[in-house]
Structure 1
Amino acid sequence: MNTHIKTTVVMKTVNQIRFAALMAVAATLFGGCEKESDNVVDNAPVAARIMSGIDAMATCAANTAWAVGDAIGISTTSQGNTKYTNVKYSAAVNGDFTPAGKMQRDTIFFQDKADVSFAAYYPYNGANGTAPGTDGILSKTITADEQTPEGQAKFDYLFATATGSSASPNVKFQFRHCMSRLVLNFLPGNGIASLSELAYTISALALEGTFDTGTGKAKMTATGTGSLNLSVPYSADGMSSTLIVFPQQANSADIKIAMGGVDYAGTIDFPENSANNNVREFAPGHSYTYNITVNDTELTIKLADIKDWEGGDNPIDGGAFLN
Structure 2
Amino acid sequence: MKTKHFALAALALSLAACNNENEILNNDGPVAAQFTADIYKAVSTRVNSEGTGFTDNDCIGINSEDITNVPYVRENGQFGPKGTTIYFNDTETKTFSAYYPYREDSELQNGIVSVNTDQYGQGPEIDFLFASGATGSTSSPTVSFTDKTDKGDADNSFHHRMSLIKFTFKPGDGLIFNGMEPADYTLDGLKHEGTFDTATGTTAVTAAVESPITMQLGGATTSQVIILPQGVTTSLDLTVSFNGLDYTTTLPNPSKPEANQFSAGYAYTYNITLNNKGITVEEPEITPWEDGETNDVSITL
Q: Taking structure 1 as the reference length, what is the TM-score of the superposition?
A: 0.71
- Is the contact between residue 32 and residue 87 of structure 2 (CA under 8 Å) also seen in structure 1? yes
User: Whose strand fraction is larger, Structure 1's or Structure 2's?
Assistant: 2
- Is the contact between residue 73 and residue 88 of structure 1 (CA under 8 Å) also seen in structure 2? yes
Q: Are residue 109 (structure 1) and residue 87 (structure 2) matched?
A: yes
TM-superposed deviation, 1:57: 5.1
Find the counterpart in structure 2 of residue 37 from structure 1.
Answer: none
CA RMSD of aligned residues (A): 2.3
Find the counterpart in structure 1 of residue 272 from structure 2.
Answer: 292
TM-superposed deviation, 1:90: 0.5
**How many positions carry a matched residue from both structures?**
249
TM-superposed deviation, 1:53: 4.0
CA distance, structure 1, for counterparts of residue 237 and residue 265 of structure 2: 23
By relative contact order (CA 8 Å, sep 6+), the higher-ranking structure is 1
Matches within 5 A, 1:87-236: 87-93=70-76, 95-101=77-83, 106-127=84-105, 133-147=108-122, 152-161=123-132, 162-173=134-145, 174-194=157-177, 196-198=180-182, 199-234=184-219
The percent identity for this pair of structures is: 36
CA distance, structure 1, for counterparts of residue 200 and residue 291 of structure 2: 16
TM-superposed deviation, 1:88: 0.6
CA distance, structure 2, for counterparts of residue 219 and residue 157 of structure 1: 13
Find the counterpart in structure 2 of residue 47 from structure 1.
Answer: 32
- Is the contact between residue 163 and residue 265 of structure 2 (CA under 8 Å) also seen in structure 1? yes
TM-superposed deviation, 1:307: 2.2
TM-superposed deviation, 1:58: 3.1
Letter in 1 for 2:267: S
CA distance, structure 1, for counterparts of residue 45 and residue 281 of structure 2: 28
CA distance, structure 2, for counterparts of residue 233 and residue 267 of structure 1: 23
Q: Which of 228, 237, 247 in structure 2 is aligned with 1:246?
A: 228
CA distance, structure 1, for counterparts of residue 255 and residue 285 of structure 2: 13
Letter in 2 for 1:290: Y
CA distance, structure 2, for counterparts of residue 222 and residue 233 of structure 1: 29
Find the counterpart in structure 2 of residue 15 from structure 1.
Answer: none
Q: Secondary structure of the equivalent of 2:120?
A: helix
Find the counterpart in structure 2 of residue 58 from structure 1.
Answer: 45
TM-superposed deviation, 1:168: 0.7
User: Whose helix fraction is larger, Structure 1's or Structure 2's?
Assistant: 1
Q: Are residue 67 (structure 1) and residue 52 (structure 2) matched?
A: no
Letter in 2 for 1:116: K
CA distance, structure 2, for counterparts of residue 153 and residue 213 of structure 1: 16
Instruction: Give a deviation string over 1:253-300, Cα, whole Å, max 9, x none.
Output: 111111112211111222123x54xx3111100011101110112111
- Is the contact between residue 118 and residue 192 of structure 2 (CA under 8 Å) also seen in structure 1? yes
Find the counterpart in structure 2 of residue 258 from structure 1.
Answer: 241
CA distance, structure 2, for counterparts of residue 227 and residue 253 of structure 1: 10
CA distance, structure 2, for counterparts of residue 281 and residue 57 of structure 1: 21
Letter in 1 for 2:50: N
- Is the contact between residue 156 and residue 179 of structure 1 (CA under 8 Å) also seen in structure 2? yes
CA distance, structure 2, for counterparts of residue 240 and residue 184 of structure 1: 6
Matches within 5 A, 1:19-30: none
- Is the contact between residue 197 and residue 231 of structure 1 (CA under 8 Å) also seen in structure 2? no
Structure 2 spans left out of the alignment, 5+ residues: 1-25, 146-156, 293-301
CA distance, structure 1, for counterparts of residue 128 and residue 47 of structure 2: 8
Q: Which of 270, 279, 282 in structure 2 is aligned with 1:302?
A: 282
